[in-house]
A and B are shown apart, each in its own frame.
Chain A
Amino acid sequence: MSAPDIHADLPTDLRSARRRLAVDGLGIVASAAGFGFVYGLSARTAGFSPIEASAMSVIVFGGAAQFAAVGYVMGGFSWAGVVLLTAFLNARHLLYSAALAPYLADQPRPVRAAMAHVLTDEAFALSITHFRRVGRADLWGYWFAGIVATFIPWNVATLAGVALGGAIPDPSVFGLDVVFPAAMGGLAIALVAGRREVIAAISGAILAVAISLAWDPAAGIVAGGLLGPAIGIAVVRDGGGR
């Protein structure tokens, strides 16, 4: 007996877009699980208990900040320094939130408040691509991207890393650490609809690398995300759609 099709009553476009989102999400699941596991291992090495490591993954739910916190706790830095660094590293979420706001403006405020907690690089990448495909917001798609593809794998893998430790091989041995940049690049390609997007993406990438090397990777990513679109608009005045 075949399983019931939960999308049976949906327009074909939305149904196919959701299927594509689910397939795209498999790569993100692998990325979130791989990084979550390595985070769990790092946290264990730094002396975090499983509850402390998991609390970070549930409450902060931000990979770069969590990895930095592990390093800072190991180095004996003050909590104030860790908290400041976290605010800096996670400032890029302002851009994601602003870019999603036009799609989600009609959602009730408590729903938007809950959505905000699971807004990560991966959730943004999957959901903005999905919204662009269907031409509007799709809550099912957002929760899939934020919870199913990211939050659950990240948290399960954190627990596995901190609890099992070296009993499981490091995912980077299998090349899984390339999944994150590959997925982000691939999803950027999926968002390109004209010359403006191409210029914005290339400028964002160049600025991100230059500023990352000259100053800090977190600042580089924010600068690329802020200035890339401005350059795209300045260079291609007519909208640049194909």
Chain B
Amino acid sequence: MSLELIPLAVLMGLVTYPSRSLPLLVSRVDRMPPLALAYLRLVGPAVLAALAAANTVVRVETLADGTRDVSFYVGPEWPAVALCLVLVAWRRNLLLGIVGAVAVVALARAVGLG
């Protein structure tokens, strides 16, 4: 069984770990000004909304030659994610929102949409 790519995995892990660990290991929270703490408090909603939006309306395809094709995408994921947001805001229940979103996409694909 091939082990050739394990050093590549180690290198990829080595360049990933600092971004995960540096602020956790070196930041001095007790020295942060209130504005910085207010900013960090907003990172959660901003980055999660960014991930949700980018993963709903931007399609990335890796082509056979390894290059990536990025395009705007419209599909059943739009109403599905919107339904999830409404259900979470209304019922405060993420699981219910996710089940609703999956049902919309599964139904759409079953009838040949998306």
A and B pair up: yes
- Taking beta carbons and an 8 Å cutoff, which residues of A are in contact with B? 23-24, 26-27, 30, 47-52, 55-56, 59-62, 65, 67-77, 79, 82-84, 86-87, 90-102, 104-105, 109, 112-113, 115-117, 119, 121, 124-125, 128-129, 132, 173-192, 196-198, 200-209, 212-213, 216-217, 220-221, 223-225, 227-230, 232-233, 239
Contact: A67 with B62, CB < 8 Å?
Answer: yes
Given contacts A48-B5, A200-B42, contact A100 B50 (CB under 8 A): no
Contact: A220 with B19, CB < 8 Å?
Answer: no
Distance in angstroms from B15 CB to nearest chain A CB is 4
Measured in the bound complex, the distance between the Cα atoms of B93 and A84 in whole Å is 39
Q: Is the interface of A mostly helix, strand, loop or mixed?
A: helix
Given contacts A178-B105, A213-B58, A221-B51, contact A204 B46 (CB under 8 A): yes
Q: Which bracket fits the contact residues of B?
A: 35 or more
Q: Which residues in window 72-90 of B have CB below 8 A to A?
A: 72, 77, 80-81, 84-85, 87-89
Given contacts A101-B29, A186-B84, A217-B60, contact A49 B50 (CB under 8 A): no
Given contacts A60-B13, A225-B43, contact A121 B51 (CB under 8 A): yes
8 interchain pairs, CB-CB under 8 A? A26-B95, A30-B98, A62-B12, A86-B12, A90-B19, A97-B19, A228-B50, A239-B38
> Could you say which residues of chain A place their CB within 8 Å of the CB of B80?
175, 178, 182
A-B contact count (CB 8 A): 334
Measured in the bound complex, the distance between the Cα atoms of B58 and A224 in whole Å is 14
